[in-house]
Amino acid sequence: MKENGFDLEFYVVEIRKTAAAHQLGLGLSEAKKQVDSTIQHMRLNLGDDKSYQARQWCTLLDALKAYNRNTVDPRWAKVINHANFRIKSRLHTAIYYRKRLSGNR
């Protein structure tokens, strides 16, 4: 999953590690903070190209779908669902700014 030197798999693994840590006893608020930190780190590494950001956020969402089935532990699902919520927010922001920037030209 490397594109332009960007390793998306690293972020998938970090989110999964956080979900596993929550299953093992890490508090939900701490797990959410770690997920937010991971997503913020990814956003900073993506650069300023909104089209590229949108593609990467979609790819990350698709990668996390495999880890959120109806048979998973509810604690795991809470963390993955929180990550999905935050990623969708970033995706919609990137799409909005991409449209706004392309409309001003």
Which tens digit of pLDDT belongs to each residue from 53-99? 999 999 999 999 999 888 899 999 999 999 999 999 999 999 998 77
Does residue 77 fall inside a structural domain?
A: yes
Does residue 44 fall inside a structural domain?
A: yes
Closest CA to 18 of 10, 91, 3: 10
Give how many domains the chain has, as a whole number: 1
Question: Do you know the residue count of the chain?
Answer: 105
Residue range(s) defining the domain that contains residue 77:
8-103
Does residue 46 fall inside a structural domain?
A: yes
Does residue 2 fall inside a structural domain?
A: no
Cα 18 to Cα 24: distance, rounded to the nearest angstrom: 10
Q: Is the pLDDT of residue 104 over 80?
A: no
Does residue 99 fall inside a structural domain?
A: yes
Does residue 1 fall inside a structural domain?
A: no
Does residue 95 fall inside a structural domain?
A: yes
Does residue 3 fall inside a structural domain?
A: no
